[in-house]
Structure 1
Amino acid sequence: MTTSPARSPRLPLIATLVLAVAGVVLLTAPNAPSRPATSAAPGAVVSTSVVSATARSSRSPRTGAPASVMASNASTQSASASARPPHGEGVAGDAAIQTSLEDAWPADLAADDEHTLLAAGRGLLRAEATGTGRANWPALFGDPGQAIAPAFATARFRIQAAIARRDGSPDKAVVHLVWAGTDRGGTYTDRRITDWHFTRTSTKGASTWTPQPRT
């Protein structure tokens, strides 16, 4: 004959307590219906923290300028750089080089002075590079018969752009030239740069721009 194990008297008591607590909770819970979640309507106010973050991200970390301004400046610089033609562009690219020079160094000389200086600077560069016209400046090039042979062929020499500007004083100026040419070895190179410096001298009320020896 077998006997069933005795049941613990604590199990019914625990179950009764659990049911009693559950009933109390259900009776005391609020009866207000839950509200469904709604999405923000168009035009709703955005969190101020989001606005602040957006404002911070739209400004330069160094200057505090709006990103749109920084982008505009960057695009202007990019356009200026792209205005310069690539090497080997030929005569078609000379106008872009001239414009780039004029944009970089605004005019600061009287029109007559600028015209005189440009003519002299072009002539001096041609004389130095090809030998043509050296007799016009004996103080700079010496006796044409004993001068050093020109390094560039006249036929392939071309001045691509030139500007004349003050050189730190109203009585000093510099002619900045960009040019192309083929040397005696047959190598063609464009966008070469040469500067000729001048000083203004006055004689009997007339002023003259005198070129200075290149060092």
Structure 2
Amino acid sequence: MTTTPRPPRLLLLSAVVLAVLGIALLRMPHGQEPSAPEPSSTATADPSSVASAPLDDKVTVETAPPTAPAASTPSVLESALPPHGEGVAGDRAVQRSLEEAWPADLPAEDEHQLLTAGRALLRADATGIGRAKWPGVFRSREQAIAPAFATARFRIQAAIARRDGSPDKAVVHLVWAGTDRGGTFTDLRITDLFFTRTLKKGEPTWTPQPRI
């Protein structure tokens, strides 16, 4: 079996290609890599570009003072309240602050009854309206005393009802605003009204405790 000889042109082309590659390799300095960055590029970098690198942000975060935990800040509730004179727009923030400070611990029915009674009692005390409905709280002479606050400028800003040491005792926390007889308006007033659970016609009900 005989081998067919390669055409002379193919052999010549192969020789030329090998010769060109050999010359290129001989002209390249020993160990040089064209794609590698120059060693001096890092040393000659602009110092301002280094100062503005993201490293500064990392240092700032690490050296920033830690945030104080909520438990160590006694004024959290006060800071959450709206400023004086905020008006009706700030009442929702007051209500939310009360609910966050004292989580609910009463059945919904009891809480509703206490809030209804507490609001009515506070309104009667401040404006004089409905004092006769609370003979156990207001004596006859107190019912005749002129109200200290104008009815038109009286507003309950927020209210919650919570237990007061036992299941049969409760307190209604109220925050309110009003204008007194001298024309002075004051908001964020705080009043606590205390109630005890009693039986009335066989049904449990919440009765306000007499004022001392």
Q: TM-score, normalised by structure 1?
A: 0.63
**Structure 2: unaligned runs, 5 residues or longer:** 1-61
Alignment partners' CA distance in 1, 2:83 and 2:130: 31
SS at match of 2:181: coil
SS at match of 2:183: coil
Alignment partners' CA distance in 1, 2:112 and 2:141: 27
**2:82–2:90: 8 Å Cα contact kept in structure 1?**
yes
**2:115–2:172: 8 Å Cα contact kept in structure 1?**
yes
1:152 is matched with 149
1:92 is matched with 89
* Percent identical: 74
Could you say if the C-alpha distance between residues 170 and 87 of structure 1 is closer, same or farther in structure 2, counting changes exceeding 3 Å?
Answer: same
**1:130–1:153: 8 Å Cα contact kept in structure 2?**
yes
1:138 is matched with 135
Could you say if the C-alpha distance between residues 75 and 157 of structure 1 is closer, same or farther in structure 2, counting changes exceeding 3 Å?
Answer: same
SS at match of 2:140: coil
Q: Give the counterpart of 2:171 among 174, 181, 184.
A: 174
Q: Give the counterpart of 2:198 among 189, 201, 214.
A: 201
**Residues matched between the structures, number:** 152
2:99 is matched with 102
Alignment partners' CA distance in 1, 2:174 and 2:142: 27
Q: TM-score, normalised by structure 2?
A: 0.64
Alignment partners' CA distance in 2, 1:145 and 1:166: 28
1:112 is matched with 109
Could you say if the C-alpha distance between residues 117 and 72 of structure 1 is closer, same or farther in structure 2, counting changes exceeding 3 Å?
Answer: same
RMSD: 3.0
Alignment partners' CA distance in 2, 1:81 and 1:192: 13
2:14 is matched with none
SS at match of 2:191: strand
Moved more, 86-95 or 74-83: 74-83
1:33-83 residue CA offsets vs partner (Å, 9 max, x unmatched):
xxxxxxxxxxxxxxxxxxxxxxxx99xxxxxxxx75x53537987765432
**Structure 1: unaligned runs, 5 residues or longer:** 1-56, 59-66
Alignment partners' CA distance in 2, 1:102 and 1:167: 16
SS at match of 1:138: coil
CA displacement at 1:84 relative to structure 2:
1.0
SS at match of 1:196: strand
